Structure 1
Amino acid sequence: MCSDQGAPIETKAVRVSLLPDAGPGEAFAQASRFREESFDCLTARRDELLELVDALLCADGPVTSPVDLTRVAEHRRGHSAMYEALNCGNVDVPRLRPVLAGLPMPQAADGRLVLAVDVGNWLRPDAPTSADRLFCHVYGRSGRSSYQFIPCWPYSFVAALESGRTSWCRLLDAVRLGPGDDVAEVTAAQLRRVVEDLIEMGRWHFGDRDILTVFDAGYDAPRMAHLLAGLPAEVLGRMRSDRVMRRPTPTLKEYALAYPLGGRPPKHGKELRFAKPETWAEPDAATTQAHDAVRCTPTLGYGEDRPASSGSGRPRATWSTNAAR
């Protein structure tokens, strides 16, 4: 902090980094406001932490070590300040979450919010003193013999997705998973907190379409829908490729037409195995969509999407679903 004629000037790193001759505009105003609010969330070693963020954003290519950030022009301090900020700095995370939720959110083509949830692993094989490490499965390039289990820190991420041919997303929250954490319960609490922040910050209003939450195959979609009950959210989960579904049980009339010789009617319908296309029935609805939505032509290297849907069927009962019996 410095003073001029007795008037204190706070948050020097923020004020100096905002160029006074920048062109006016709503985007610049939002960026300036977000930068100031983010700076207020840093409760210790503010200036150095913000310079590390600037260096991280302005670095060319991936950053493999914090020391590399000191070589970036935006970082104007030495190594000792960098280590002191990482060791003694602090971020008020509960205060930062609403700041992220208050930013303009990317939306899908129909104008609704889409949140994606997934778990990413931070590999920590050479950190024996790091607490609460778990093991993650890492695939090798030489077949099954090169697969490994490596100590890591798993993190649960929530990101807002946008439509179009882009992989950009907006991270809204990240939580590290511990050895005794239930992934479904932690994810549900995380999503509930994010959705409530979006509502509080005015990014979702009553009457808008429900927020679409997308889950990977590692999540149990019915359970997530139960844990997220009461929120304006729809659950969309991907199913594993080795799942087996059962078609509806045929009626007595349908069974008599299919088997005129008679016999005991089946209790379940025929199987539909995701891994065997020959067991698939005719879809109830199907469409073809090109990746290049502007020219309506297939994009080189990607081709076309041919999504198909079937509204009938249920998962086949497994040992896990009948364990309580």
Structure 2
Amino acid sequence: MSLVHPGVLRGAFGEVSRFRTELYACLTTRGDALFELCDALLCTDGPVRTLVDLALAPEHRRGHGALYGGLNQGRIDVARLRRAVAGLPLPRAADGRLVLAVDVSPWLRPDASTCPDRAFCHTYGRGEGKHQMVPGWPYSVVAALETGRTSWTAVLDAVRLEPGADVAAVTTAQIREVIERLVAAGQWQPGDPKILVVLDAGYDAPRIEGTVIRLVVETLPSRGVNKPVWLWWSGTGATANDVDRCWQSFLRGFDVEHTFRLFKQTLGWTKPRLRSPEAADRWTWLVIAAYAQLRLARPLATDLRRPWEKPAPPNKLTPARVRRGFRNLRVKTGSPAGAPKPSRPGPGRPPGSKNHRPATRHDVGRVLATGEAHSRPTHHKVGTKPRRTG
């Protein structure tokens, strides 16, 4: 039985309905197909494995051809969608402060030689200190953090990093634009606590004077030696409250990893074998829009838990458990997408004919995001024909 106040439920329904209407307005070309694809992403049972599975969902009333056509030829007004996401209710710290986290997550495409604009993405391998550089599309994501133990964040932006991009410069511009949208949406006003931005190592942010914080963990049973963690804060004259706020916000920054895991393992963000990076951007924003609807539906969701799962109090469900009941919520919020028109599939390529227009092969960007040249690994032989996968 839900313990949420009826007024809160009505407000949550209104927020979900308004955002769905605004999302549909942002889909400027092939909007019906893209909107129903987003609904299928929200309502499909279990993790998303392939796009074809989404085409079979009842919420997607069109064929798989319309699904791929929407991703490949559709258009999304990303600027308007960014403003819509920035205007949604956002989590705040105990003092009312907005805390933003920035991190990069790769969409790995190691064998997709027909995909342009791939760069070498840093990935962690098994074992301590192991890492690999794998071709793919890296995305810089900005999210607002909650307080306490949670797997929720509020994703505000995603930018694909092109080969040779300066991560520090791109991230700085991205953060500035996100904050400008938050100010325009009324999320921050003069006199409010300053917005705190949390970044991991590797961004080369300490270019001006600031405060260095040494964080030491007294007991860590899994390791024999406890190494200190060094943090840098752009402010000076730090008080004890400032220091506590910095290291606590830094630890909360790892909540973004939960969001990446949900995107990839449950919502299937990196599952489609899309050839065009522009189609990958459209799919990325559909995933962000779906996640935003899950966050708005938290007070409305019913705990459809598995027999082995522990009960969760209202408004404390994980994103995956909120998604289980979204199909029931969708019926109440409605869909602005129009009904599909009857059509006949095209004849396709004649049986037995060969493809005389093979796709163009693209090399992986030889410049890392840090600006350094990347040398070909020794096990990559020059002249070997790559396996065609997309």
SS state of the match for residue 128, structure 1?
Answer: coil
Following the alignment from structure 2 to structure 1, what is the Cα–Cα distance between the partners of residues 12 and 228? 51
- Bigger RCO (CA 8 Å, 6+ sep): 2
Contact 1:221 1:236 survives alignment (8 Å): no
How many percent identity over aligned positions? 58
The equivalent residue for 1:99 is 84
Note if 1:220 corresponds to 2:204: yes
Note if 1:151 corresponds to 2:141: no
SS state of the match for residue 203, structure 2?
Answer: coil
Shift of 1:40: 0.6
Note if 1:78 corresponds to 2:63: yes
Select between 105-114 and 60-69 the one with higher mean Cα deviation: 60-69
Which structure is larger by alpha-carbon Rg, 1 or 2?
A: 1
Note if 1:139 corresponds to 2:121: no
Specify which structure has the higher proportion of helix.
Answer: 2
Following the alignment from structure 2 to structure 1, what is the Cα–Cα distance between the partners of residues 201 and 56? 41
Following the alignment from structure 1 to structure 2, what is the Cα–Cα distance between the partners of residues 43 and 139? 38
The equivalent residue for 1:39 is 24
Superposed CA RMSD: 3.3
Note if 1:163 corresponds to 2:147: yes
Note if 1:197 corresponds to 2:151: no
Following the alignment from structure 1 to structure 2, what is the Cα–Cα distance between the partners of residues 33 and 91? 18
Select between 107-116 and 63-72 the one with higher mean Cα deviation: 63-72
Residue of 94, 103, 106 corresponding to 1:109: 94
Shift of 1:65: 1.9
Following the alignment from structure 1 to structure 2, what is the Cα–Cα distance between the partners of residues 33 and 143? 47
What's the CA shift string for 1:215-269, capped at 9, x where partnerless? 011222323x79xxxxxxxx9999999xxxxxxxxxxxxxxxxxxxxxxxxxxxx
Matched ranges for 1:230-309 at <5 A: 275=227
Note if 1:29 corresponds to 2:14: yes
Following the alignment from structure 1 to structure 2, what is the Cα–Cα distance between the partners of residues 94 and 151? 28
The equivalent residue for 1:268 is none
Shift of 1:138: 3.0
Following the alignment from structure 1 to structure 2, what is the Cα–Cα distance between the partners of residues 236 and 67? 51
Following the alignment from structure 1 to structure 2, what is the Cα–Cα distance between the partners of residues 102 and 148? 38
TM-score normalized by the length of structure 1: 0.61
Following the alignment from structure 1 to structure 2, what is the Cα–Cα distance between the partners of residues 237 and 74? 52
Note if 1:188 corresponds to 2:172: yes
Following the alignment from structure 1 to structure 2, what is the Cα–Cα distance between the partners of residues 237 and 90? 45
The equivalent residue for 1:87 is 72
Shift of 1:137: 3.3
Shift of 1:53: 0.5
Shift of 1:111: 1.4
Contact 1:153 1:176 survives alignment (8 Å): yes
Contact 1:114 1:161 survives alignment (8 Å): yes
The verdict on how the C-alpha distance between 1:150 and 1:24 changes in structure 2, with shifts beyond 3 A counting, is closer
What letter matches 1:190 in structure 2? Q
Contact 1:37 1:99 survives alignment (8 Å): yes
The equivalent residue for 1:13 is none
Contact 1:159 1:170 survives alignment (8 Å): yes
Between the two proteins, the alignment pairs up a number of residues equal to: 220
SS state of the match for residue 138, structure 2?
Answer: strand
SS state of the match for residue 206, structure 2?
Answer: helix
What letter matches 1:170 in structure 2? A
Residue of 57, 68, 92 corresponding to 2:42: 57
What's the CA shift string for 1:103-130, capped at 9, x where partnerless? 1111112211111000111001121111
What letter matches 1:192 in structure 2? R
Matched ranges for 1:166-177 at <5 A: 166-177=150-161
The verdict on how the C-alpha distance between 1:104 and 1:275 changes in structure 2, with shifts beyond 3 A counting, is same
Shift of 1:32: 1.0
The verdict on how the C-alpha distance between 1:239 and 1:71 changes in structure 2, with shifts beyond 3 A counting, is farther
What letter matches 1:139 in structure 2? Y
The equivalent residue for 1:302 is none
The equivalent residue for 1:67 is 52
Contact 1:217 1:239 survives alignment (8 Å): no
SS state of the match for residue 207, structure 1?
Answer: coil
Contact 2:102 2:197 survives alignment (8 Å): yes
Consecutive unaligned residues of structure 2, counting only runs of 5 or more, are: 1-7, 217-225, 230-238, 252-390
